[in-house]
Amino acid sequence: MKELILILDFGGQYTHLIARRMRELKVYSEIEDPAISTERLKEYGQKYNLRGLILSGGPSSVYSGNAVEYNKEVFNLTIPILGICYGHQLIAYVFGGKVSHAGKEEYGIGRLKVRRPVGIFQDVEPEETIWISHADIVEELPKDFEVLGETRNCPIAAFRHTAMPIYGVQFHPEVEHTRPGMKILGNFAYLICGCSPSLETGDFVEQAVREIREQARGSKAIVALSGGIDSSTAAVLASRALGKSLTAVFVDHGFMREGEGVTVKRTFEGLGLNVIAVNAEKVFLEKLKGVRDPEQKRKVVGEGFIRVLEDAAKSVGAEYLIQGTIYPDRIESGETKHSSVIKTHHNVGGIPSAVAFKGIIEPLKDLYKDEVRYVARELGLPESIVKRHVFPGPGAVVRIMGEITPEKQAIWRRVDRIVQEELEKEIFYYDLWMAFPVLLETRSTGVRGDARAFGYTVAIRAVESKDTMTANFSQLPYHFLERLSTRITNEVPEVTRVVYDITNKPPATMEWE
């Protein structure tokens, strides 16, 4: 019988990362609602060898009126339990401890001092780098619990029950920035739960092709193709599944990089796909007129995309839409029941409730970006696409602050061309997850010659990441940044100032909007 570690999702932004880490440890896991019924729990027990339970983080407080409901029976399962962040606090609360608002909230990199290197902390160094994101802390432990670790502002950063296999950590071992994270999760899975590393992922490409065929049911389909790694991978997968029954549609909404449409069409026709390009720039500019709110922008773009794609599908007799949605798109859009909306991705929360398609097929919806890159290589996509920097579906719409105007659109495009030209000259290009300019609404005074100038401010953002759920700003060389600034202010006279964004994710997101 297959071993299983069940993960209860309390709405944390990193919940799916826990399942991802279990997969890397070759341990099977599934994510469930905390209010899972007792009958459903019994089904898991009959179908799998249920070895452990992980309680995820989440945005709520255990004392708040909107705290996530959960089935108290999960604490009577007599299997090992690991609580992470909110889950850590919930365990303390359930067993009679005290949780309170932290005197000082902690977000980002922290240092953990391990008091007792036992259980999940076996073979973990006495002091380690960890990732913290919390406002509440466990102030008092319940009876029969002991402290295993602490941070500067959190005296009870990790604990365990002295008799039962129950553990809690205030930090996030699933996040890459926690240096001993895989060791801690591995200790829980292997030492505490007794799991073996037996999970085999199998051939994703073969499975995805089969599922696309099954979902399309012999009908024609279109795939939304932007030229980015996600849509490109989805397009080639769909092409293998559907052949000539598939049409790739490139929607030029006017907020792509210079020459993007020509490059995309040439590349994918060379890979054997039937590609049509739709110029919808005027349509999107009109729809975005007067719109300033970032969430509204994304929703306008999402609906606009669907309507253009519906027309394209009608012209070729297609009934299904295939798109390259990946898991971070879904989690940041608040798709899971208890998760907060960080930003609505145009291909998830931006999709209107009523669409003309029989169905929307998303073959990559459970993958992270680095996994998509792996699949892309398996499919034989060129490295220029596999290693390409991430570009958002809404394009410059979310990189131009405030209302979109033709003037700002043209300025951003010229600045972006300079940024991309300079980046492509550098060896560190492939170390970056993404790098791009943001055109701010802020204007500032400058000097051109001997005269006063008053122009736009451009922010440069460059980040390094593995799975897009967290990221560090890239410490680009000063001489490179100076070269960028000089070119931008010399060649784009409407810009008088260039600044560099040095914020990690969290607290920031990848994009500015």
Q: What is the mean pLDDT of residues 43-59?
A: 92
**Per-residue pLDDT for 348 more than 60?**
no
CATH of the domain at 164: 3.40.50.880
Q: What is the mean pLDDT of residues 256-281?
A: 88
In a shared domain, residues 173 and 95: yes
- Which residues lie closer than 8 Å to 328 by C-beta, 6 or more apart? 368, 369, 467, 468, 469
Q: What is the mean pLDDT of residues 205-212?
A: 91
In a shared domain, residues 110 and 138: yes
Please tell me the least confidently modeled range out of 72-76, 235-239, 308-312, 337-341: 337-341
Is 509 part of any domain? no
Is 400 part of any domain? no
**Per-residue pLDDT for 344 more than 50?**
no
**pLDDT on residue 365:** 87
Residue of 191, 172, 183, 217 lying closest to 80 (CA atoms):
191
Cα separation, 229 vs 71, whole angstroms: 40
DSSP states along 455-472: EEEEEEEEEE-SSSSSBE
Q: What is the mean pLDDT of residues 92-120?
A: 88
Is 319 part of any domain? yes
Is 70 part of any domain? yes
Q: Extract the tokens encoding 444.
A: 């500032």
Cα separation, 329 vs 365, whole angstroms: 8
* Residue-wise pLDDT tens digits, 476-500: 999 999 999 999 999 999 999 999 9
In a shared domain, residues 41 and 72: yes
Contact 73, 38 (CB under 8 A): yes
Instruction: Supply the residues annotated as catalytic.
Output: 85, 172, 174
Is 508 part of any domain? no
Residue 412: CB atoms within 10 Å: 26
**pLDDT on residue 62:** 87
Name residue 240's amino acid.
R
Is 34 part of any domain? yes
In a shared domain, residues 44 and 120: yes
% residues pLDDT > 90 (the chain): 64
**pLDDT on residue 337:** 54
Threshold 0.75, pTM exceeds: no
**Per-residue pLDDT for 315 more than 70?**
yes
In a shared domain, residues 293 and 174: no
DSSP states along 399-416: TB-SS--HHHHHHHHHHH
In a shared domain, residues 142 and 232: no
Query: Which of 161, 192, 223 is where one domain is finished?
Result: 192
Q: What is the mean pLDDT of residues 318-327?
A: 91
Q: Extract the tokens encoding 11.
A: 């709405």
**pLDDT on residue 338:** 53
**pLDDT on residue 343:** 43
**Per-residue pLDDT for 330 more than 80?**
no
With cut-offs at 50, 70 and 90, classify the pLDDT of residue 203: low
Please tell me the least confidently modeled range out of 78-92, 111-125, 317-331, 335-349: 335-349
Q: What residues make up the domain containing 252?
A: 204-386
Half-sphere exposure (Cβ direction) of 235: Cα atoms closer than 13 Å: 28
Stated as kind and residue range, the H or E segment containing 304 is helix 294-316
Computed over every residue of the chain, the mean pLDDT equals 89
